[in-house]
Amino acid sequence: MAAPSVSVPLLVPDLPDRDELWPYLRRIDESRHYSNFGPLVHELEQRFTACFNERSGGAPVALTSVSSCTLGLELALGALQLPPRSKVLVPALTFVATATAVLRAGHLPVVADVDERSWALTPEIAARALREADCRAVLPVATFGQPVPLPEWHRFEQASGVPVLVDAAGAFGSQWLDAGGTLVFSLHATKALSSGEGGLVVSTDAELIRRVRQMSNFGINLDAGAAVPVGVSHLAGTNAKMSEYHAAVGLAAFDRWPRRAPLRRERWLAQRARLDEAADGQLIWQGGEAPAAPVLMSLRWSGAGRRDALERHCARLGVVTRRWYQPLLPRHALAPGMLQRLATPVADMLAEDLVGVPFFPDLECRQLDTIAQAVRLTVDEFRTLPA
């Protein structure tokens, strides 16, 4: 049987078009600078730094661009200069890159549970985990783009002495440095603000950012005031620099952000209300404030078989769904010994019930009708059964 045609794609990237890119591309042609911290990368970093400084409550913010969030995480972990094979705490419910960054930095991911309301690793869960595993760093995740409470994590860091790095990949526009800390963002095409591929490491620790920047350029020292001469490498770096072409896309995306971010939030809230209505209030949403610029829509439908039934009805109507962040980290086919696993009863339960439905800012009315129809069919299918 032929697969049904797609009536509602899962996600449509929202990037600037060629007309919006044109002024930046001209500048590349004129400067003939293509990478190695060129003028467009500088401008992008300045604009993002100003944006974070406005909301940091006074602490000056340092920032460096990288070629992806995953490399940003790897280098930020490297910049902590932990002993090799240090244990790093990560949540079970996250994109696999959170764990691969830890592995590639030469450390051991220790997988912890998440909170039933926020679907995220919390300082309380981390404090409990530290009694079971001697972790040298914690990597909380802004689950599905929902910001983490940075002041609480800052207090955790002060109390435990264990450094915290936030995987804020999908949380640009929602997650700010409103306390001391380090955030790593993705500018991948599937995120709300994109340079095609790219990332940002943002921190109140200027020295950490200096090391990440140096490591993103093979570890070569470019600072005349440093102990080693300019041009000499003393850190095991890599090439994780953002090119001028990617910066051009990022700058054009930044130009349209004041229009696109509020549209995302408005459409997302309207879609959530519509699906709630279709589901007779049976859907469970991630707790807390809705993100300022939502990237995707993940919902929870508990009760045996309901999530799977929704997936079936969606598939039949050509609505693409995805179990975002699944399988859970411990279920990936990583070799034995590559992860240490703590008990994760909440994440295991959420994995039974969570599913992502299509969301993107230009989703049409009739497409939303189709998603709502799949939800309605699921409600009807279970109407005769006890909840």
Ligand X SMILES: *Cc1c(COP(=O)(O)O)cnc(C)c1O
User: By the criterion CB under 6 A, which residues form the site for ligand X?
Assistant: 68-70, 94-95, 97-98, 141, 167, 169-170, 186, 188, 199
Q: How far is the CB of 110 from ligand X (least distance, A)?
A: 17
Q: How far is the CB of 141 from ligand X (least distance, A)?
A: 5
Give whichever of 120 and 319 is closer to ligand X, judged by the CB atom. Answer: 120
Give whichever of 65 and 378 is closer to ligand X, judged by the CB atom. Answer: 65
**Whole-angstrom Cα Rg for the chain:** 22
Q: How far is the CB of 175 from ligand X (least distance, A)?
A: 12
Pairwise CA distance, residues 76 & 44, whole Å: 20
Q: How far is the CB of 283 from ligand X (least distance, A)?
A: 22
Q: Answer yes or no: are the C-beta atoms of 105 and 77 closer than 8 Å.
A: yes
For the chain, report the end-to-end CA distance as a whole number of angstroms. 33
Q: How far is the CB of 5 from ligand X (least distance, A)?
A: 28
Give whichever of 69 and 351 is closer to ligand X, judged by the CB atom. Answer: 69
Q: How far is the CB of 371 from ligand X (least distance, A)?
A: 22
Give whichever of 70 and 203 is closer to ligand X, judged by the CB atom. Answer: 70
Give whichever of 11 and 338 is closer to ligand X, judged by the CB atom. Answer: 11
Give whichever of 251 and 375 is closer to ligand X, judged by the CB atom. Answer: 251
Pairwise CA distance, residues 164 & 182, whole Å: 7
Tokens of 307: 């999530």
Give whichever of 188 and 210 is closer to ligand X, judged by the CB atom. Answer: 188
Give whichever of 98 and 367 is closer to ligand X, judged by the CB atom. Answer: 98
Paired residues of 89 in beta bridges: 110, 138
Q: How far is the CB of 330 from ligand X (least distance, A)?
A: 16
Q: How far is the CB of 1 from ligand X (least distance, A)?
A: 34
Pairwise CA distance, residues 141 & 73, whole Å: 11
Give whichever of 69 and 79 is closer to ligand X, judged by the CB atom. Answer: 69
Q: How far is the CB of 294 from ligand X (least distance, A)?
A: 13
Name which of 360, 353, 174, 355 is nearest 271 in CA terms: 360
Give whichever of 111 and 278 is closer to ligand X, judged by the CB atom. Answer: 111
Phi-psi region of 342 (alpha: psi -120 to 50; beta: other; left: phi over 0): beta
Q: How far is the CB of 188 from ligand X (least distance, A)?
A: 4
